[in-house]
């Protein structure tokens, strides 16, 4: 049984058999799975479901995988989601085209299931690491801003002999601490 917190994999392929095989393979790895039968439907499902990874066929009717991938990358949530292009096309031009459209990785059919499972696992791990890195960057930027504010207040306090300016500075510090959740009662 798949955990509701498991990553969601969106399978986009016009071949019902391939979709079913990919669904079974991904569910056996513990992932939740949704599918779409062409690129247009895949984009709609991507927007609706916000999957953690997309397995995308290159050759499909309505909207092929290359165009689908390019449009997916233009979506606000499509920037960081790994896209693994799965296709029978193995010529250098198709490989280049897939990466130019924004594919994260590329595998050819017939699939080697153990390799596919490893690629999916690694892509999801990389996505998680990237998200954690961005959170740390945000925290670091917030901390730097806090330090700039404190430095500014201390500089103003040190430079001022005016009681009104000191009171104003202390009031700003207290308001900041209240907003920041720190011990404002200490001031």
Residue range 103-128, pLDDT digits in tens: 999 999 999 999 999 999 999 999 98
Give the H or E element holding residue 159: helix 113-159
Residue 98: inside a domain, yes or no?
yes
If one counts the domains in the chain, the total is 2
Residue 80: inside a domain, yes or no?
yes
Residue 145: inside a domain, yes or no?
yes
For 8, which DSSP code? E
pLDDT exceeds 90 at position 176: no
Q: What is the pLDDT of residue 3?
A: 79
Per the document, the length of the chain is 187
Residue 23: inside a domain, yes or no?
yes
Q: How far apart are CA 38 and CA 163, in angstroms?
A: 71
In this prediction, residues 29-50 reach a mean pLDDT of 97
Residue 49: inside a domain, yes or no?
yes
How confident is the model over 154-163, as pLDDT tens digits? 777 777 777 8
Residue 126: inside a domain, yes or no?
no
Residue 61: inside a domain, yes or no?
yes
Q: Are 20 and 77 in the same domain? A: yes
Q: Give SS3 for 179.
A: helix
Residue 160: inside a domain, yes or no?
yes
Q: Are 107 and 145 in the same domain? A: no
Q: What is the pLDDT of residue 96?
A: 95
Q: What is the pLDDT of residue 149?
A: 81
In this prediction, residues 49-64 reach a mean pLDDT of 96
Give me the domain span that covers residue 96: 8-111
Q: Are 99 and 52 in the same domain? A: yes
């Amino acid at each position: 049984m798949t955990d509701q917190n498991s990553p969601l994999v969106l399978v986009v392929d016009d071949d019902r058999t391939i979709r079913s095989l990919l669904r079974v393979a991904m569910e056996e790895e513990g992932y939740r799975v949704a599918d779409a039968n062409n690129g247009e439907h895949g984009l709609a499902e991507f927007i609706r479901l916000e999957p953690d990874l997309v397995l995308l066929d290159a050759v499909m009717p309505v909207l092929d995988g290359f165009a689908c991938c390019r449009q997916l990358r233009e979506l606000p949530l499509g920037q960081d989601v790994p896209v693994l292009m799965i296709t029978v096309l193995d010529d250098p031009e198709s490989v280049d085209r897939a990466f130019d459209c924004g594919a994260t990785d590329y595998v050819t059919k017939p699939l080697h299931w153990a390799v596919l499972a490893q690629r999916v696992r690694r892509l999801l791990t990389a996505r998680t690491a990237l998200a954690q890195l961005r959170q740390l960057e945000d925290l670091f930027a917030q901390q730097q801003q806090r330090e700039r504010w404190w430095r500014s207040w201390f500089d103003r306090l040190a430079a001022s002999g005016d009681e009104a300016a000191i009171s104003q500075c202390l009031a700003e510090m207290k308001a900041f601490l209240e907003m920041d959740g720190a011990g404002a009662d200490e001031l």
